[in-house]
Structure 1
Amino acid sequence: MIPKTLTITERQILANQFRILSKLEDNTEYYEKRAEILENGYTGQYGEVFLVDQEETDYNICRETHDILNMFRYISNAIPNLTDEERESLDLDKLTFKGFDANNDKHYHYTSFMIEKQGKWAEHKEMYLNSHNSMTISGYRKMLPVYKNVLDSNRYDLNFEDLKDLISAQ
């Protein structure tokens, strides 16, 4: 989001950064222009300075994304411990992480950043993370209380009953 106003201190700090970049980078004119916009307080030109086109991702979205990805890690770790009979009796597709809807869900962009740029949750690195379904988040949110209940009971492994409860929660 482009600010409508900046304090004189913010303007000076940012202008100085652009002046420094103009000395270090090849595109001197580009950085000098931005420094001048800030130094003179040309608020109508702030769009040229602030090229960020997205609003911040709320802390709660980030936290919830971590919880969801961790939940699916726990699920993935639990499935190999099931017997063949238990595995066959579960709808394992409902226990598969399907990503987030890129068009309607801020979780998608944060997840992509965390996996592709930060190297977190590497088990999903080769996965297509766009579910193309705005309802995936609601299913995950229904599963989270079941998962958190297990953690709250000081158990760190999911068992067959937990997996059944996760499926039922959806």
Structure 2
Amino acid sequence: MEDRIRDQLKELADAEGVSLSEYVRDRLLEAVIPVYERESEPGAEPAPETMRLADRQVLALLHRILARVLPEEANDVDGGTAYQLKRAEVIESGFTGEYWREVAGFSTELSKRDCDRVLDILDMFRAITHSIQKLQKDGDPVGEDTAYDLEFQGFDFRDGLEGHMADYVKFLMGEDRWTELRPQLERNDGGNSHHKTLDAYLRMLAEHRRIMDSRGRGFRRDDYWLSKEELDQIAAARVHPSHRG
């Protein structure tokens, strides 16, 4: 591979916050494995066109069991006895046009890679937040513009992937994890950025990783604090290279 092409691939990998080998491997997989074109709304699980007989038997049995244990006045998401028996009839009769009822309300899976990206992004903003607080306490605060650029603004709810990532963040914080970032989300419409942020976060994450890789890793809290210069570097990475002065 020509050095020029390798350098271009490295820039693309850095922009996504992944290694060169991981980036190339993903592009090869995309070329080999056809992308499934969904007809449903972004984020919605498409209805199965067919089911294995064993799966139909299990689903029908579960619907019939639920029909027997639901209270007579039940009227929540599980419906009542008649509703569950209808669901069982659809599965037993093989009415494939009605299989969408089995996945209604389900979301497509958020891949392990994208889940890990969310965790990495949250860890980065945690380090940024504590570093800014430490500098403030030491009497050497960062500027307002830098602090704003380094704030976790959440994800774009309108985008299928970012909206799913936003749901994952909400789930994680519901388990009292990364709660120090909640005030930042509250200042940004509850975590709805109203514009795509993932690409910017990945550029920031790539810069954060370069900074952390350049120093010796330890187990003390001080090992993860960032200086003002390092925070400026991460804030600058938020801007796409084509728009930098």
Report TM bin, short chain. 0.7 to 0.9
Query: How many angstroms does 1:11 deviate by?
Result: 0.8
Query: How many angstroms does 1:91 deviate by?
Result: 1.3
Q: Distance in 1 between matches of 2:61 and 2:176?
A: 33
Moved more, 44-53 or 24-33: 44-53
Q: Distance in 2 between matches of 1:41 and 1:123?
A: 50
Secondary structure of the equivalent of 1:85?
A: coil
Query: How many angstroms does 1:90 deviate by?
Result: 7.0
Determine what percentage of the aligned residue pairs are the same residue.
Answer: 30
Is 1:28 matched with 2:78?
Answer: no
RMSD (Å) for aligned C-alpha atoms: 2.2
Residues 21 and 28 in structure 1, CA contact (< 8 A), matched pair in contact too: yes
Residues 63 and 88 in structure 2, CA contact (< 8 A), matched pair in contact too: yes
Is 1:143 matched with 2:222?
Answer: no
Moved more, 77-86 or 36-45: 77-86
Query: Which residue matches 2:149?
Result: 94
Are residues 24 and 151 of structure 1, via their aligned partners in 2, closer, same or farther at CA, if it must alter by over 3 Å? farther
Superposed CA deviations along residues 36-92 of structure 1, whole A, max 9, x for unmatched, are 111222111112232135322222221111111111111111112214335248711
Secondary structure of the equivalent of 2:59?
A: helix
Structure 1 runs of 4+ aligned residues shifted over 6 Å read none
**From 87, 91, 115, the counterpart of 2:173:** 115
Q: Distance in 2 between matches of 1:85 and 1:125?
A: 24
**From 229, 232, 235, the counterpart of 1:164:** 232
Aligned residues: 168
Query: Which residue matches 2:20?
Result: none
Superposed CA deviations along residues 70-123 of structure 1, whole A, max 9, x for unmatched, are 11111111112214335248711111101111001232232233324x333222
Residues 90 and 164 in structure 1, CA contact (< 8 A), matched pair in contact too: no
Q: Distance in 2 between matches of 1:107 and 1:20?
A: 34
Any stretches of 5+ residues in structure 1 without a counterpart?
none
Q: Distance in 2 between matches of 1:90 and 1:44?
A: 54
Moved more, 86-95 or 7-16: 86-95
Query: Which residue matches 1:66?
Result: 119
Q: Distance in 1 between matches of 2:140 and 2:181?
A: 27
Residues 100 and 107 in structure 1, CA contact (< 8 A), matched pair in contact too: yes
Q: Distance in 2 between matches of 1:97 and 1:165?
A: 16
Alignment TM-score, normalising by the size of structure 2: 0.62
Is 1:48 matched with 2:101?
Answer: yes
